[in-house]
Amino acid sequence: DAGITQSPRHKVTETGTPVTLRCHQTENHRYMYWYRQDPGHGLRLIHYSYGVKDTDKGEVSDGYSVSRSKTEDFLLTLESATSSQTSVYFCAISESIRELNTEAFFGQGTRLTVV
Amino acid sequence: AQSVTQLDSHVSVSEGTPVLLRCNYSSSYSPSLFWYVQHPNKGLQLLLKYTSAATLVKGINGFEAEFKKSETSFHLTKPSAHMSDAAEYFCVVSRMDSNYQLIWGAGTKLIIKP
């Protein structure tokens, strides 16, 4: 298994509070991604990173920010959590972005509940 | 623009019978296509990928998929279902018109009856 660790694995938080999820990789892959998974939607890309301090928005970036100060760590922050952000969050990594046959490796997921 | 449609939200088969999970895509370019599997409360694992080489792609655990450009389909099949195949399966297309994005289908839950 690819070395990807997400923390925490489960979190319950209150509406309006900031929340940070962490993704840590030991594969030295350049590209890292944050997805959310909701029933009936598959996975949707929130943000991705193509290098240290280089990030870009995905399909559903509103209400989220990211940071990548080191190759191995990619943080996802919910600036002010809302109930609509209750979801399962997956971090993924890949070696390449331009290569069309790139496989993405996924972490175990973080189940976030906003009450 | 690329999109992916998984035609069935749930598929139920008996153990030992064939499995067919259907996926249609739309793409302005020659796409790369993937199938991922997610077992209950687990992460996602690549089953197989199509990258414009052979149109019949073999993956792990006896699964295979055939790329049919004329039908814009990439259906996943297995000759004989096993109880351990019970999971959710996602068809995915890789975009080419931006830096990066994988476009995910909504998923098909495969149920195996004993």
Nearest to B32 among A40, A41, A100 (CB): A100
Q: Which domain holds residue B85?
A: 3-113
SS3 A85: helix
Q: Which domain holds residue A61?
A: 4-114
Give residue-wise pLDDT tens across range B10-59.
999 999 999 999 999 987 777 788 999 999 877 889 999 887 778 899 99
DSSP code at position A82: -
Structure tokens at B44: 């996602």
Domains in chain B, number:
1
Question: The domain spanning residue A56 has which CATH number?
Answer: 2.60.40.10
User: Looking at beta carbons, which residues of chain B come within 8 Å of A40?
Assistant: 9, 106
Domains in chain A, number:
1
Question: The domain spanning residue B70 has which CATH number?
Answer: 2.60.40.10
CB atoms B104 and A43 under 8 Å: yes
Name the residue in chain A with its Cα closest to that of B48. A103
Structural contact between residues B111 and B19, judged by C-beta atoms closer than 8 angstroms: no
What is d(CA A110, CA B5) in angstroms, rounded to the nearest whole number? Answer: 26
User: Looking at beta carbons, which residues of chain A come within 8 Å of B109?
Assistant: none
- Does residue A41 carry a pLDDT above 90? no
Give residue-wise pLDDT tens across range A53-109.
999 998 899 999 999 999 999 999 999 999 999 999 999 998 876 555 577 889 999
CB atoms B46 and A103 under 8 Å: yes
Structural contact between residues A40 and A59, judged by C-beta atoms closer than 8 angstroms: no
